[in-house]
Amino acid sequence: MNATKPTHNAEKNPNVNTQLDLAWSTSCDVAFQHRVWWSDHVLAPGNAAFAAALAQVHGQCVAFIDSGVAQSWPEIALQLMGAFAALQPAHGDTTSHLQHGAVAATTPTVAPSLAHVGIIPGGETCKEGLKYAEHVAKICFDHGVNRHGAVIAIGGGAVLDAVGFGAAIAHRGVRMIRIPTTTLAQDDSAMGVKCGVNMFEQKNALGCFAAPWAVLCDEHFLSTLPIEHWLGGFSEVVKIALLKDPHLFEQLESHAMGITSRDLKIASPILRRSAWLHREHIVRGGDPFEVGSARPLDHGHWSAHRLEALSHFAVPHGQAVSIGIALDAFLAVEMHLLDASVATRIIQLLRSLQLPIWHPLLEAGEELFAGLEQFRQHLGGNFAIPLLTSIGASREVTRIKAEDFRKAVTTLRTLAS
């Protein structure tokens, strides 16, 4: 019902009600539990984290595996079946109720059972439009998965996003268990509460907020990750360190060599710290579903998303974010927010992590700059981009001048050549 402002005429007319017709306004809290486990060999029979994640799951479940993971871990579907088989005794079963002729007065619990394991193309291919998300939803219907069952996704951030969207729209939301297998998915994306696909030539144009039922991180999966994607995930660590944790930034500086040589002993605490900080922002930052305008975690992302789309997703997200961070650092310098020496230090770190600071598409000037407006529309609300004021501190800016953008691009071009 529309609340209309009293007009001059209405004030004169005693028959017109100038009060709001009816207003029922009550706040309604919707709580969700955000659960993350770090566990080795998460699919080994009897793994405690896997059992805990599925403890409240009942009935049919389906799983989708990233094609890159399936290729590198050919036994994974069998392992998953074994993990489900090992769960059976722990769960109650309705059969005993039925045998005794009792009509279940309480909700029957049916042990979770794995009805389907499918392969989903890894990387941005699975986020091309609705095809794979719809496929996931269809499989849920084909196999009788309801809201008490679960969809399990094993893979990189792209597969988690596409499968997560399919799960979120099936029956208006089937529980989703994420098993992230890339550095980026473990240190950032799997901790989040978003999912979605690319559409209308725009990154994540369709999607929704949907908190995962559980996240199970197993760092063993990282051993088969192609080097480009191993490194790419550290751009999100640089981002969160720049925004929130100067000590983490220093750790990255001192351990860059260990990271680039894929020393998991060195990388693991860094990845987990990043995951913790991303998760803390979501569970304690006060705006998990991004109702307001502030988007601190999107530092470096307005140009990154645009670069990804302009390159037809040839530039992976992690590398695009690295370039976006470099660009935002020099934008902050142009806007007198950040000292140039700090921006230079950031560039040095990105380089020592073998992350890019430049792409020829930055020359696309206007087209790239248009990403700002796209980003604003995508996020909604007032335009607000977080730019750094020092390492560990940022400020929301509400306007970026094209001239400052051009100067920042020129500086990056010079540094990269």
Ligand X SMILES: NC(=O)c1ccc[n+]([C@@H]2O[C@H](COP(=O)([O-])OP(=O)(O)OC[C@H]3O[C@@H](n4cnc5c(N)ncnc54)[C@H](O)[C@@H]3O)[C@@H](O)[C@H]2O)c1
- Contact set with ligand X (CB under 6 A): 66-69, 72, 122-124, 127, 155-159, 161, 181-182, 184-185, 188-189, 192, 194-195, 221, 224-225, 229, 232-233, 317-318
- Residue 184 or 357: which CB sits closer to ligand X? 184
- Residue 115 or 242: which CB sits closer to ligand X? 242
Provide the minimum distance between the beta carbon of 189 and ligand X in the complex, in angstroms, as a whole number.
3
For residues 3, 6, 11, 15, the Cα torsion angle rounded to the nearest 10 degrees is -20
Instruction: Tell me which residue has tokens 């601190």.
Output: 296
Q: Which residues contact 274 (CB under 8 A, 6 or more apart)?
A: 187, 188, 236, 237, 240, 241, 248
Q: Which residues contact 266 (CB under 8 A, 6 or more apart)?
A: 255, 258, 259
Provide the minimum distance between the beta carbon of 219 and ligand X in the complex, in angstroms, as a whole number.
10
Provide the minimum distance between the beta carbon of 109 and ligand X in the complex, in angstroms, as a whole number.
31
Q: Please state, in angstroms and rounded to a whole number, the distance separating the CA atoms of residues 133 and 291.
A: 25
Provide the minimum distance between the beta carbon of 356 and ligand X in the complex, in angstroms, as a whole number.
14
Three-state SS string over 197-213 comes to EEECCEEEEEEEECCCC
- Residue 205 or 337: which CB sits closer to ligand X? 205
Backbone angles phi, psi at 243, to 5 degrees: -80, -35
Provide the minimum distance between the beta carbon of 308 and ligand X in the complex, in angstroms, as a whole number.
8
Q: Please state, in angstroms and rounded to a whole number, the distance separating the CA atoms of residues 287 and 194.
A: 13
Strand partners, 37: 216
- Residue 179 or 385: which CB sits closer to ligand X? 179
Provide the minimum distance between the beta carbon of 211 and ligand X in the complex, in angstroms, as a whole number.
11
- Residue 39 or 182: which CB sits closer to ligand X? 182
The DSSP code sequence of 283-296 is: HHSS-TT--SS--G
- Residue 115 or 179: which CB sits closer to ligand X? 179
Provide the minimum distance between the beta carbon of 415 and ligand X in the complex, in angstroms, as a whole number.
25
Q: Which contacts (CB < 8 Å, 24+ apart) does range 81-89 have?
A: 81/114, 81/117, 82/43, 82/45, 83/42, 83/43, 83/44, 83/45, 83/47, 83/50, 84/112, 84/113, 84/114, 85/45, 86/45, 86/46, 86/51, 87/50, 87/51, 87/54, 87/111, 87/112
Provide the minimum distance between the beta carbon of 235 and ligand X in the complex, in angstroms, as a whole number.
9
Give me the residue whose beta carbon is nearest to ligand X: 122
Provide the minimum distance between the beta carbon of 158 and ligand X in the complex, in angstroms, as a whole number.
3
Half-sphere exposure of 207 (CA within 13 A, CB side): 26
- Residue 195 or 350: which CB sits closer to ligand X? 195
- Residue 87 or 385: which CB sits closer to ligand X? 385
Residue type, 180: P
* Tally of CB atoms within 10 A around 138: 12
Q: Please state, in angstroms and rounded to a whole number, the distance separating the CA atoms of residues 52 and 179.
A: 14
- The β-bridge relationship of strands 194-199 and 202-209 is antiparallel
- Residue 59 or 196: which CB sits closer to ligand X? 196
Backbone angles phi, psi at 207, to 5 degrees: 175, -170
Half-sphere exposure of 139 (CA within 13 A, CB side): 25
- Residue 77 or 87: which CB sits closer to ligand X? 77
Provide the minimum distance between the beta carbon of 401 and ligand X in the complex, in angstroms, as a whole number.
28
Provide the minimum distance between the beta carbon of 223 and ligand X in the complex, in angstroms, as a whole number.
8
> To 10 degrees, what angle do helices 264-284 and 246-260 make?
140
